[in-house]
Amino acid sequence: MDRTDFSVVPLTPERWGDLEDLFGPQGPCYGCWCNHFRMPPQLRKPLLGEGARQLFEERVRKGPPPGVLAYAEGKAVGWLQVGPRAHVPEWNNPRRASTPLPDAPAEDISNWAASCFFVRKGFRGKGVTGALLDGAVGFARESGARLIEAAAMDNRDKRSADGLYVGPESVFLRAGFTEVARQKPGRPLLRLVL
């Protein structure tokens, strides 16, 4: 399979069941349900599991779509949380690799973040991440984004797969992103101007 074998679409309310199937009953990342960058730890941690699932479902139902799903063989096989930086306030924390630069402030809703990937077991290493990123770029353009940034994992030194939920640097570079800062070792801030 390669990235053209996947269809990628925004996560809308009618696709919620597909996301639940992809994430499984416990949800990804220890029950986070993609709330990690949406709220401070003291509010997020008590919700892990079912509370986080309900909160994210409510977010999806209210809209706008908080990311894109990749499909293959009739089921969702990947997810990328992508949208305005303002929607993921913890991603903008000044102590993170993803801290916004002065020329792309978090308050400007045309400045987007590609913050979290999740790929179904059995489909990892098959181009899903690249397909998700391609679909996210199209979705961002259609939604009026000016740029997309990511704080990818520099995977040249074969870092642990645990941190790759932020995406490997190589996938972003292949998609045309360029490094604009390195605020933490091994975590370049990458940008694609749309």
Domain ranges in the chain are 3-11+66-193
Confidence (pLDDT) at 159: 53
Burial of 162 (0-12, 13-18, 19+ CB in 10 A): exposed
Strands 111-119 and 147-151: parallel
Instruction: Name the percent of the chain lying above pLDDT 70.
Output: 93
Burial of 41 (0-12, 13-18, 19+ CB in 10 A): exposed
Would you place residue 108 in the very low, low, confident or very high pLDDT band (cuts 50, 70, 90)?
Answer: very high
Name the average pLDDT for the chain: 91
Tokens of 159: 């870092």
Would you place residue 163 in the very low, low, confident or very high pLDDT band (cuts 50, 70, 90)?
Answer: low
pLDDT value at 126 more than 60: yes
Would you place residue 98 in the very low, low, confident or very high pLDDT band (cuts 50, 70, 90)?
Answer: very high
Contacts of 94 (CB under 8 A, 6+ apart): none
pLDDT value at 53 more than 60: yes
pLDDT value at 161 more than 60: no
* 25-50 mean pLDDT: 83
**Between these two residues, 25 and 67, which has the higher pLDDT value?**
67
Best CA proximity match to 67, nearest among 132, 148, 130, 127: 132
Best CA proximity match to 11, nearest among 72, 74, 59, 73: 59
Domain 3-11+66-193 has CATH 3.40.640.10: no
Q: Which amino acid is at 45?
A: K
**Between these two residues, 32 and 22, which has the higher pLDDT value?**
22
- Give the Cα separation of 120 and 129 in Å (integer): 11
Contacts of 142 (CB under 8 A, 6+ apart): none
**Could you give the dihedral angle defined by the CA atoms of residues 42, 23, 121 and 168, in that order, rounded to the nearest 10 degrees?**
-50
Compute how many other C-beta atoms are within 10 angstroms of the C-beta atom of residue 150: 30
Confidence (pLDDT) at 43: 81
* 121-128 mean pLDDT: 92
- Give the Cα separation of 53 and 40 in Å (integer): 16
Confidence (pLDDT) at 80: 97
* 23-43 mean pLDDT: 84
* 101-105 mean pLDDT: 96
Confidence (pLDDT) at 187: 92
Reading phi first (left if > 0) and then psi (alpha if -120 to 50, else beta), residue 55 is in alpha
Helix (H, G, I), strand (E, B) or coil at 115: strand
Confidence (pLDDT) at 2: 56
Would you place residue 42 in the very low, low, confident or very high pLDDT band (cuts 50, 70, 90)?
Answer: confident
